[in-house]
Structure 1
Amino acid sequence: MTAIADRKSAEFIQQAIFYIGVFAASTVVAVFARFTEERLALLWREFLTRRAVKLYLADATYFHLGYSGTLTHPDQRIADDVRAFTITTLSFILMVFNSALTILAFSGVLWSISPLLFVVAMFYAACGSYVTIALGRPLIKLNYDQLDKEAGFRSGLIHVRERAEAVMVARCEEQQNARLLQRLDEAIANFRQVTAINRNVGFFTTGYNWLIQIIPALIVAPAFIRGDAEFGVITQSAAAFALLVGAFSLIVTQFQSISTFAAVVSRLSSLLQAIEQSHAPGSPLAIQVDEDENCLGLEHLFLLSSTDGKPLIRDLSVSIGLGTRVLITGPNQAGSVALFKAMAGIPTTGSGRIIRPGAGGILFLPQQPYLMPGTLRQTLVPPDKSADISDDRILHLLHEFNLDVGQTGGLDKESDWDAVLSLREQQLLALIGIILARPRFVFLDRLDTTLGADEFRKILHTLSEHSITYLNSGAARGPEGLYDAILTCSQNGEWTWTTNPPEHEPIL
Structure 2
Amino acid sequence: MSTNSISSTPSPSSGPSTDTLAGKWAATKQQTQRVWALSKPYFSSEHKWQARGLLAAIVALNLALVYMSVLFNDWNKLFYDSLQDKNAAVFWEQLGRFTYLAFAFIVIAVYKFYLTQLLEMRWRAWMTSHYLQRWLKDQAFYRFELARYTPGNGQGQVPDNPDQRIQEDIGSFTGSTLSLSMGLLNSVVTLGSFVGILWALSGGFTFHVQGSEYVIPGFMVWMALLYSVVGSVLTHYIGRPQIALNFQQQKVEADFRHRLLRVREYSESIALDRGETVEKAQLELRFGRVLANYLALIRAQKRLIWFNSFFGQAATVFPFLVAAPRFFSGAIQLGELMQISSAFGQVQGALSWFVDSYSSLATWRATTDRLTSFEAAFQAVAPVADAVTAPADVAVRADDLNVCLPTGAVLLAHTQLQAKAGDTVLLSGPSGSGKSTLFKSLAGIWPFASGTVERGADAMFLPQRPYFPDGPLRDALAYPQAASTHTDAQLSQALVEAMLPHLADQLDRNDAWSQKLSGGEQQRLAFARVLLKKPKWVFADEATSALDEASEATLYQRLTALVAQRQGGLVSIAHRPGVAAFHQRRWVLEPQAEGGEARFRLVEKPA
Same fold per TM (> 0.5)? yes
Amino acid at match of 1:396: Q
Q: Of 375, 396, 415, which aligns to 1:316?
A: 415
Q: Does the Cα contact within 8 Å between 1:299 and 1:354 map onto a contact in 2?
A: yes
Moved more, 138-147 or 172-181: 172-181
Q: Which residue of 2 aligns with 1:504?
A: none
SS in 1 for 2:499: coil
Give a deviation string over 1:418-459, Cα, whole Å, max 9, x none.
111122221122122234344442210123433332333223
Computed over aligned residues only, the root mean square deviation of the Cα atoms, in angstroms, reads 2.6
Amino acid at match of 1:431: F
Would you say 1:420 and 2:522 are equivalent positions?
no
Equivalent-residue separation in structure 1 for 2:601 and 2:107 (angstroms): 80
Q: Does the Cα contact within 8 Å between 1:332 and 1:490 map onto a contact in 2?
A: no
* 1:170–1:423 Cα change, 3 Å: same
Amino acid at match of 2:559: I
Tell me the number of residue pairs that the alignment of Structure 1 and Structure 2 aligns.
Answer: 490
Give a deviation string over 1:8-36, Cα, whole Å, max 9, x none.
11110000111121112211221121111
Q: Which residue of 2 aligns with 1:276?
A: 379
Q: Which residue of 2 aligns with 1:82?
A: 170
Equivalent-residue separation in structure 1 for 2:580 and 2:166 (angstroms): 52
Would you say 1:338 and 2:426 are equivalent positions?
no
Amino acid at match of 2:557: R
Q: Which residue of 2 aligns with 1:393?
A: 490
SS in 1 for 2:433: helix
Q: Which residue of 1 aligns with 2:262?
A: 159
Q: Which residue of 2 aligns with 1:216?
A: 319
Q: Does the Cα contact within 8 Å between 1:289 and 1:353 map onto a contact in 2?
A: no
Q: Which residue of 1 aligns with 2:147?
A: 68
Cα shift at 1:339: 2.1
Q: Of 416, 427, 449, which aligns to 2:545?
A: 449
Moved more, 251-260 or 337-346: 337-346
Q: Which residue of 2 aligns with 1:372?
A: 469
Amino acid at match of 2:564: S
Q: Which residue of 2 aligns with 1:238?
A: 341
* 1:277–1:435 Cα change, 3 Å: farther
Amino acid at match of 2:515: A
SS in 2 for 1:237: helix
Q: Does the Cα contact within 8 Å between 1:297 and 1:354 map onto a contact in 2?
A: yes
Equivalent-residue separation in structure 2 for 1:129 and 1:480 (angstroms): 76
Q: Of 456, 461, 481, which aligns to 2:561?
A: 461
- Identity within the alignment, %: 27
Q: Does the Cα contact within 8 Å between 2:475 and 2:482 map onto a contact in 1?
A: no
Q: Does the Cα contact within 8 Å between 1:49 and 1:82 map onto a contact in 2?
A: yes
Cα shift at 1:242: 0.9
* 1:392–1:350 Cα change, 3 Å: closer
Amino acid at match of 1:4: L
Cα shift at 1:97: 2.5
Cα shift at 1:232: 1.2
Equivalent-residue separation in structure 1 for 2:176 and 2:301 (angstroms): 19
Cα shift at 1:325: 2.1
Equivalent-residue separation in structure 2 for 1:480 and 1:173 (angstroms): 40
* 1:61–1:173 Cα change, 3 Å: same
Moved more, 17-26 or 253-262: 17-26
**Which residues of 2 match residues 1-400 of structure 1 at below 5 A?**
1-69=80-148, 70-114=158-202, 115-279=218-382, 290-294=387-391, 295=394, 296-303=396-403, 309=409, 313=412, 315-329=414-428, 334-347=433-446, 352-357=451-456, 361-381=458-478, 388-400=485-497
Would you say 1:403 and 2:510 are equivalent positions?
no
Equivalent-residue separation in structure 1 for 2:294 and 2:276 (angstroms): 27
Moved more, 171-180 or 460-469: 460-469
Equivalent-residue separation in structure 2 for 1:250 and 1:333 (angstroms): 60
Q: Of 474, 484, 488, which aligns to 2:588?
A: 488
Give a deviation string over 1:262-292, Cα, whole Å, max 9, x none.
0000000000001111227xx8xxxx98513
* 1:387–1:293 Cα change, 3 Å: farther
* 1:408–1:322 Cα change, 3 Å: same
* 1:421–1:14 Cα change, 3 Å: same
Equivalent-residue separation in structure 2 for 1:161 and 1:480 (angstroms): 37
* 1:489–1:66 Cα change, 3 Å: closer
Q: Does the Cα contact within 8 Å between 2:523 and 2:544 map onto a contact in 1?
A: no
Moved more, 418-427 or 387-396: 387-396
SS in 2 for 1:447: coil
* 1:93–1:462 Cα change, 3 Å: same
Moved more, 377-386 or 416-425: 377-386
Q: Which residue of 1 aligns with 2:51?
A: none
Equivalent-residue separation in structure 2 for 1:248 and 1:367 (angstroms): 63
Consecutive unaligned residues of structure 1, counting only runs of 5 or more, are 501-508
Q: Does the Cα contact within 8 Å between 2:536 and 2:563 map onto a contact in 1?
A: no
Cα shift at 1:383: 5.8
Equivalent-residue separation in structure 2 for 1:44 and 1:231 (angstroms): 48
Cα shift at 1:50: 0.5
SS in 2 for 1:334: coil
Moved more, 438-447 or 210-219: 438-447
Equivalent-residue separation in structure 1 for 2:601 and 2:372 (angstroms): 46
Cα shift at 1:378: 2.3
* 1:443–1:333 Cα change, 3 Å: farther
Moved more, 92-101 or 10-19: 92-101
Amino acid at match of 1:428: R
Cα shift at 1:351: 5.5
* 1:437–1:72 Cα change, 3 Å: same
SS in 1 for 2:397: strand
Q: Of 528, 532, 554, which aligns to 1:436?
A: 532
Q: Which residue of 2 aligns with 1:505?
A: none
Q: Which residue of 2 aligns with 1:503?
A: none
Give a deviation string over 1:79-126, Cα, whole Å, max 9, x none.
100000011111112212222332233222211211111121122222
Equivalent-residue separation in structure 1 for 2:333 and 2:431 (angstroms): 97
* 1:382–1:153 Cα change, 3 Å: closer
Amino acid at match of 2:129: R
Moved more, 430-439 or 250-259: 430-439
Equivalent-residue separation in structure 2 for 1:481 and 1:164 (angstroms): 36
SS in 2 for 1:48: helix
Cα shift at 1:334: 3.1
Consecutive unaligned residues of structure 2, counting only runs of 5 or more, are 1-79, 149-157, 203-217, 593-599
Cα shift at 1:314: 5.9
